[in-house]
A and B are shown apart, each in its own frame.
Chain A
Amino acid sequence: MDSSANLIEIRNLKTHFKTDDGLVKAVDGIDLDVPRGKVLCVVGESGSGKSIMARSIMRIVQPPGRIVAGSIDYAAESGHQVDLAALDPIGAQMRDIRGGDFGMVFQEPMTALSPVHTVGDQVTEALLLHRQVDRNAATAAAAAMLARVGLPDPTGTLRRFPFELSGGMRQRVCIAMALICRPKLLIADEPTTALDVTTQAQVLDLIGELQAEMGLTVLFITHNLGVVAQIADSVAVMYLGRVVEYADVDTLFHDPRHPYTQALLRSVPRPGLRGARLPTIRGSVPHALDRPTGCLFQTRCDVAVAGLCDRELPPTHRVAPGHLVRCVHANQARAVGEPA
């Protein structure tokens, strides 16, 4: 593991769910590097497995789901390397890391907080749990954190209940809650999807500032390419439980190599193009129990090669340092933004 460059290295992670209807391979063989101190955006449609991957890192995947293979190597403070996948998910070691070294923010601020506990109680909880501080110090730290995330009247807010706050304010509370222990990693699972555009912009700015200030590593999950363009340093594109392309943000937008990425970028509506049909990706995502053999994207791919793409999984091609593509056409640069 290259712990100077990467905070986390995921190798061949597989998280499967045994349901009544069959085995759902939500995450099926992911290799991913989370670079230290940078923002990694994970992009994908619903069902791509991005949330499950995040929860796998945090080890909060509930039965019937479990990690069945792979490793999640984490470069811990002490200089040691810990395989999170091998730890007992409810054991003390993982619980120390979870909340102490990793903080997570979720998609729905309206339901992510307990309605019967005060904001202060919930924000100070992680600090009291992971750091040796007394209640007063924790409350002061909580107030400071609330101020930092932009909430007016932080001390008053500590005494309030979540239902007294708006969605945007609640999300800020969640961010404060996740960061109060000064973790190394912030995992944000679509934190702005449920917010209106203005609030979304504010929250994104906030995350950006905090990241720079605290030297945070951020794993930001989204399906919104605009958000990616705004905050990402590097991007991983996921499809049906696998990473299909990984690159730094500039390269991804200017030189995408995977047909899925290219199709995604093509389908972003562009002002100025009038009278043309909105490009979409034909077909729909195959359902989890009905995955095609070989490349998962072949059913919707315009350049699929019969006899090749439907036989085996394409291997990962290293197009350039830091640019990985899982496609047989990886080495052919294609023009992006062709006229619709």
Chain B
Amino acid sequence: MLEVEHAARAAKDRPDTLTRKRERYLAAGQWQLIWRRFRRHKLGLAGGAVAALIYLVALFAEFLAPTTFEEYTAAYRFAPPMPVEIVHIAQDGSWHWGLHTHPLVPTVDKVKMRRTLAPDGQTVVPIHFFVSGAPYKFWGIFPTDLHFFGTGDPKIPLMLLGGDRLGRDLLSRIIYGSRISLSIGLFGVAISLLLGVIIGGISGYIGGITDNLIQRLVEILDSIPSVPLWIGLAAIIPLTLAPELVYFLITLILALIGWTGLARVVRGRFLALKHEDFIIAARLDGASSLRIILRHMVPSFMSHIIAALSLAIPGMILAETALSYLGIGLRPPVVSWGVLLQDAQNIRTIVEAPWLLLPGGAVIVTVLALNFLGDGLRDAADPYST
């Protein structure tokens, strides 16, 4: 920064003109400083807000979805997204208000010479909030049938994003899928973090031969392109294994390959900090290694770790999506965004029902949001950037 700008900043801070409020502002702790800087990063804030929203949706998935992930209506196979309107103009010209949709009925598409489903403009199906719908167990524990919104009519499903090849509501499946996709991201990153911090920490703090060996190992693991390695590891999982076990194994596999990134960040921080004057001062003061690590080093790089984490999660989500899409990750009946995209493998299918690609949209939005958040955090955490 320019000297002149530094001088300008300090204008309000002469001892005789300092107000209480300003004093508290200046004496902020590390986290307050980080939060302040983060607040200025508009994209990071937006990303954080969107990510939080998506995680909330995942948390309350069953309630927010209009129906369950397995509920299907045979007549609505490959249904296009149903329209939502507020005003209905009846045949007699009268206006009716209220959120509503129209049921889909079989018609013939004269252009493409095919039978498709199209909305019946005359029949009105109102959309209600807090409506009774397909029964489910909230968080797997509380049985209920209350949905945030829906038609309330068991014969007419509300398919805002269309239906899949069995007549299941895509929106509901995407919402249910968010829970799986997002949680794999979190758990995988947690395991990666554990591995990364331990190994990276040892490597960075001890240094010397241990560091060298570990670094060679990390380099070697990194040289193996990840996708072939994932495929290799995921193909291990027998097709007949229970879904929960498959979930666990997939998480483990992703974490085992992903820890190298975090280990590198942790090691880098340790190495940089080891030679900082304040660490040497602490050592000269007689502080034990453990105390130095916990009290002096960890607070220094905590923020970097958080930033690295928020950038690692989208990587995990993308990886799981890719594996499941290829058929070697999670498998039906488990619903994740990758599994949903499996339905979109066939080009003919996509042309018939392009809305089947929408789970990809969910992935994109989530990954973008998390990346913006991570960027914002990283910028805010770095004390040396302007």
Cα distance A287–B11 in the bound complex, in angstroms: 5
Interface flag for A89 (CB, 8 Å): no
Cα distance A22–B6 in the bound complex, in angstroms: 12
Best-surrounded residue of A17, A22, A46, A290 (most CB of chain B within 10 A): A290
- Assess whether B11 is in contact with A52, with CB atoms less than 8 Å apart: no
A286–chain B nearest beta-carbon distance, Å: 8
Contact of A19 among B4, B10, B12 (CB under 8 A): B4
B368–chain A nearest beta-carbon distance, Å: 29
CB-CB < 8 A to B12: which residues of A?
A: 290
Complex interface residues of chain B between 7 and 24 (CB less than 8 A to chain A): 7-12, 14
Cα distance A22–B3 in the bound complex, in angstroms: 14
Question: Binary interface profile of A, 35-52, with partner B (CB < 8 Å = 1, else 0)?
Answer: 000000000001100011
Interface flag for A289 (CB, 8 Å): yes
Cα distance A17–B8 in the bound complex, in angstroms: 10
Decide yes or no: A47 and B8 within 8 Å by CB, A17-B2, A287-B14 being known contacts: no
Complex interface residues of chain A between 26 and 70 (CB less than 8 A to chain B): 26, 46-47, 51-52, 65
Q: From B2, which residue of chain A is reached at the shortest CB distance? A: A17
- Assess whether A26 is in contact with B10, with CB atoms less than 8 Å apart: no
Decide yes or no: A22 and B7 within 8 Å by CB, A17-B2, A287-B14 being known contacts: no
- Assess whether B11 is in contact with A21, with CB atoms less than 8 Å apart: yes
Complex interface residues of chain B between 74 and 118 (CB less than 8 A to chain A): none
Complex interface residues of chain A between 241 and 300 (CB less than 8 A to chain B): 287-290
Cα distance A51–B7 in the bound complex, in angstroms: 15
- Assess whether B7 is in contact with A47, with CB atoms less than 8 Å apart: yes
Cα distance A208–B86 in the bound complex, in angstroms: 87
Interface flag for B285 (CB, 8 Å): no
CB-CB < 8 A to A85: which residues of B?
A: none
Complex interface residues of chain A between 79 and 123 (CB less than 8 A to chain B): none
A93–chain B nearest beta-carbon distance, Å: 27
Interface flag for B5 (CB, 8 Å): yes
Interface flag for A24 (CB, 8 Å): yes
Cα distance A285–B197 in the bound complex, in angstroms: 47
Decide yes or no: A65 and B4 within 8 Å by CB, A22-B11, A288-B11 being known contacts: yes
Cα distance A288–B2 in the bound complex, in angstroms: 13
Cα distance A287–B4 in the bound complex, in angstroms: 9
Best-surrounded residue of B3, B7, B9 (most CB of chain A within 10 A): B7
**Chain B interface, >50% SS class:** helix
Cα distance A288–B7 in the bound complex, in angstroms: 6
A292–chain B nearest beta-carbon distance, Å: 12
- Assess whether A24 is in contact with B14, with CB atoms less than 8 Å apart: no
B334–chain A nearest beta-carbon distance, Å: 52
Cα distance A289–B4 in the bound complex, in angstroms: 10
CB-CB < 8 A to B9: which residues of A?
A: 21
Contact of B8 among A21, A46, A51, A52 (CB under 8 A): A21
- Assess whether B4 is in contact with A288, with CB atoms less than 8 Å apart: yes
Q: From A51, which residue of chain B is reached at the shortest CB distance? A: B3
CB-CB < 8 A to B8: which residues of A?
A: 17, 19, 21-22, 24, 287-289
Cα distance A65–B14 in the bound complex, in angstroms: 25
Complex interface residues of chain B between 171 and 212 (CB less than 8 A to chain A): none
Q: From B5, which residue of chain A is reached at the shortest CB distance? A: A19
Cα distance A141–B14 in the bound complex, in angstroms: 53
- Assess whether A290 is in contact with B3, with CB atoms less than 8 Å apart: no
- Assess whether B11 is in contact with A26, with CB atoms less than 8 Å apart: no
CB-CB < 8 A to A289: which residues of B?
A: 7-8, 11
Contact of A21 among B3, B5, B14 (CB under 8 A): B5
Q: From A291, which residue of chain B is reached at the shortest CB distance? A: B11
- Assess whether B3 is in contact with A46, with CB atoms less than 8 Å apart: yes
- Assess whether A47 is in contact with B3, with CB atoms less than 8 Å apart: yes
CB-CB < 8 A to B2: which residues of A?
A: 17, 19, 65
Question: Binary interface profile of A, 2-38, with partner B (CB < 8 Å = 1, else 0)?
Answer: 0000000000000001011110101000000000000
CB-CB < 8 A to A51: which residues of B?
A: 3
Cα distance A65–B3 in the bound complex, in angstroms: 12
Complex interface residues of chain B between 139 and 198 (CB less than 8 A to chain A): none
Cα distance A19–B8 in the bound complex, in angstroms: 8
B13–chain A nearest beta-carbon distance, Å: 8
Best-surrounded residue of B3, B8, B9, B11 (most CB of chain A within 10 A): B8
- Assess whether B4 is in contact with A26, with CB atoms less than 8 Å apart: yes
Question: Binary interface profile of A, 303-324, with partner B (CB < 8 Å = 1, else 0)?
Answer: 0000000000000000000000
Cα distance A51–B5 in the bound complex, in angstroms: 14
Complex interface residues of chain B between 317 and 344 (CB less than 8 A to chain A): none
Cα distance A293–B12 in the bound complex, in angstroms: 17
CB-CB < 8 A to A47: which residues of B?
A: 3-4, 7
CB-CB < 8 A to B3: which residues of A?
A: 46-47, 51
CB-CB < 8 A to A22: which residues of B?
A: 8, 11
- Assess whether B4 is in contact with A52, with CB atoms less than 8 Å apart: yes
CB-CB < 8 A to A26: which residues of B?
A: 4
A48–chain B nearest beta-carbon distance, Å: 11
B40–chain A nearest beta-carbon distance, Å: 11
CB-CB < 8 A to A287: which residues of B?
A: 7-8, 10-11, 14
A190–chain B nearest beta-carbon distance, Å: 13
- Assess whether B10 is in contact with A17, with CB atoms less than 8 Å apart: no
CB-CB < 8 A to A65: which residues of B?
A: 2, 4
Best-surrounded residue of B4, B8, B10 (most CB of chain A within 10 A): B4
Cα distance A272–B8 in the bound complex, in angstroms: 40
A61–chain B nearest beta-carbon distance, Å: 10
CB-CB < 8 A to A46: which residues of B?
A: 3
B316–chain A nearest beta-carbon distance, Å: 38
CB-CB < 8 A to A21: which residues of B?
A: 5, 8-9, 11
- Assess whether A17 is in contact with B4, with CB atoms less than 8 Å apart: yes
CB-CB < 8 A to B11: which residues of A?
A: 21-22, 287-290
10 nearest CB pairs, A to B: A289-B11, A287-B11, A288-B7, A290-B11, A21-B8, A24-B4, A289-B8, A24-B8, A17-B4, A19-B5
* A-B pairs with beta carbons under 8 Å apart, 13 shown: A17-B5, A19-B2, A19-B5, A24-B4, A24-B5, A24-B8, A46-B3, A51-B3, A287-B10, A288-B7, A289-B7, A289-B11, A290-B12
> A47-B7, A288-B8, A290-B11 are known contacts; what are 6 more A-B pairs with Cβ within 8 Å?
A17-B5, A19-B8, A24-B5, A51-B3, A65-B4, A289-B8
Contact residues of B with A, CB < 8 Å? 2-5, 7-12, 14
